[in-house]
Amino acid sequence: MTSAASRDTAADPIDELIIDVFNRACPSRQAMETVADKWGTLALVALTEGAYRFNALRRRVDGVSEKMLARTLQALERDGLVTRDVQATIPPRVEYTLTAPGTRIAAALRALLDALEAEIPAIMTAREDYDQRH
């Protein structure tokens, strides 16, 4: 956005205010809040593979508790990223599916994950190096 290298002595209160307002209003920031969530991202990525029912998804996203999965899916449904289809059978079936926006976001997420996976070997050795020096 603006050059960072020049920011040096500063601490000008007006600068502070501008940066403050900018950050809070910044869409990146709001976007981050939505995506910086472990279970939410894992659920979105899992749903890339197709529709899932609650307990199937729970098994697929290993380690998630009933409570957290329910809460996560509600949040995703609220944001219009997944749809919740209830079939009034006995026992009840509830299927979760990605919406169009959800699909687009999940695709970007998967791209990020691919990028991350590509760096995992490098990250691992970096960690070992770092840990040995400390």
Partner DNA sequence: CCGTATCCTTAACGATACTG
Partner DNA sequence: CAGTATCGTTAAGGATACGG
Note the residues at the interface with DNA (CB under 7 A): 9, 11, 37-39, 53-56, 63-68, 70-71, 73-74, 84, 91-94
Residue 101 interacting with its own copies (CB under 8 A)? yes
- Provide the β-strand partners of residue 5: none
Residue 62 interacting with its own copies (CB under 8 A)? yes
Mark residues 14-53: x for contact with its own copies by CB under 8 A, - for none: -xx--xx-xxx--xxxxxxxxxxxx--xx--xx--xxxxx
Rule CB under 8 A: choose which of 67, 78, 86, 90 binds its own copies. Answer: 78
Residue 86 interacting with its own copies (CB under 8 A)? no
Closer residue to its own copies, CB minimum distance, 24 or 67? 24
Residue 85 interacting with its own copies (CB under 8 A)? no
CB of 88 to its own copies, least distance (A): 18
Cβ contacts of residue 110 below 8 Å, gap of 6+? 45, 48
62, 101 in Cβ contact below 8 A?
no
Q: Which residue has the tokens 């050795």?
A: 125
Cβ contacts of residue 37 below 8 Å, gap of 6+? 72, 75
Distance CA 107, CA 101 (A): 10
